A = this chain, B = another copy of it.
Amino acid sequence: MLNKLVAEHSVVAAQQKPSCTTCSLRDVCLPVGLDDAEVQHLSTLIKHKFRVRRGEYLFHAGADFKSLYAVKNGFFKASTLKTDGRTQVTGFYMTGELLGLGAISLEKYSCDTMALEDSEVCEVPFAKLEEIGRAIPPLMNQFHKIMSREIVHDHDVMMLLGSMKAEERLATFLLNLSTRLSRRGYSSTEFNLKMTRHEIGSYLGLKLETVSRSFSKLQEEGLISISNKRVKLEKIAELYRKIGD
């Protein structure tokens, strides 16, 4: 089964030296708010650009932590595994987002992180990030904002899980994807889901059948069109109204 593969070797094989200076993600990634010289300095710490193919894991929970990873392109899911076998998807990550923030506290990765499509990541050695951050205060500040944003986002998910019904959760999820995609220059109304119903359900605290039913219901109500992995948001304003925003 493809999903079970851990392909450290193929991952390393495709490495190359990237540059933040010319990267299209300067506005969404770590370089936010830095001037050209600072970005160039930041660039020196980015070790490799890795390729991670669909179904491969970037890292596993429990492995020694040394680096964060910025998503250069592609799509990832992070999931935690409890001792009793229960797993849950804790997040989906797209272009320009940072992977591994939970690993800093215990210096072990806190979740399994898998590519849901062929992807590339930039490795950011954490010790060096802290070091260079001392020389470039805006970089350190941007990093703090990224971590803080993750906390706020997690609080939003907690509210979703704690107080929303299935349809509302799914609508919230779709609108969140829509926002993040449009910020990256993609369509905010039409996109392909990279994850399965099961993975969506795991993230939203629902069973896959309930996810499927909720998709169908949102479609019946005319708010979206759904066909397999293809989603079209037909009435964004009403979707927002549904989730109380």
Q: Which residues in A have some Cβ–Cβ distance to B below 8 Å? A: 80, 82-86, 88, 90, 101-106, 110-111, 130-131, 133-134, 137, 140-141, 144-152, 154-159, 161-163, 202-205, 244-245
* Contact of A83 with B244 in the complex, beta carbons under 8 Å: yes
Dominant SS among interface residues on chain A: helix
Q: Report yes or no: A103 in contact with B148, Cβ–Cβ below 8 A.
A: yes
Q: Report whether B104 and A158 are in contact in the complex, using a CB–CB cutoff of 8 Å.
A: no
Q: Are B88 and A158 in contact (CB under 8 A)?
A: yes
CA distance A16 to B216 in the complex (A): 60
Please, which residues of chain B bring their CB within 8 A of the CB of A83? 244-245
Closest chain B residue, CB of each to CB of A110: B152
Contacts of A133 in B (CB 8 A): 140
Q: How far is the CA of A145 from the CA of B102 in the complex (A)?
A: 9
Q: How far is the CB of A28 from chain B (nearest CB, A)?
A: 13
Determine if A162 and B88 form an interchain contact, defined as CB atoms under 8 angstroms apart: yes
Which of B86, B131, B162, B203 interacts with A202 by CB under 8 Å? B162
- Cβ-defined contact, B149 with A84, below 8 A: no
Asked whether A205 and B155 contact (CB < 8 A) given A130-B144, A137-B130, the answer is no
A102, B152: Cβ atoms under 8 Å? yes
The 4 nearest A-B residue pairs measured at CB = A84-B244, A162-B205, A104-B148, A161-B161
A137 and B140 contact, CB distance less than 8 A: no
Q: Please, which residues of chain B bring their CB within 8 A of the CB of A148?
A: 101-105, 147
B154 touches A158 (CB 8 A): yes
CA distance A86 to B161 in the complex (A): 13
Given contacts A105-B149, A147-B148, contact A163 B88 (CB under 8 A): yes
With A134-B134, A161-B161 as given contacts, are A105 and B145 in contact (CB-CB < 8 Å)?
Answer: yes
Contacts of A86 in B (CB 8 A): 159, 163, 244
Q: Write out the residue numbers on chain B whose beta carbons fall within 8 Å of the beta carbon of A244.
A: 82-86
B111 in contact with A162 (CB, 8 Å):
no
CA distance in complex: A85, B130 (Å):
40
CB pair A130–B140 under 8 Å, yes or no, is yes
Partner of A157, one of B84, B101, B158: B158
* Nearest CB in chain B: distance from A79 CB, A: 10
Contacts of A141 in B (CB 8 A): 130
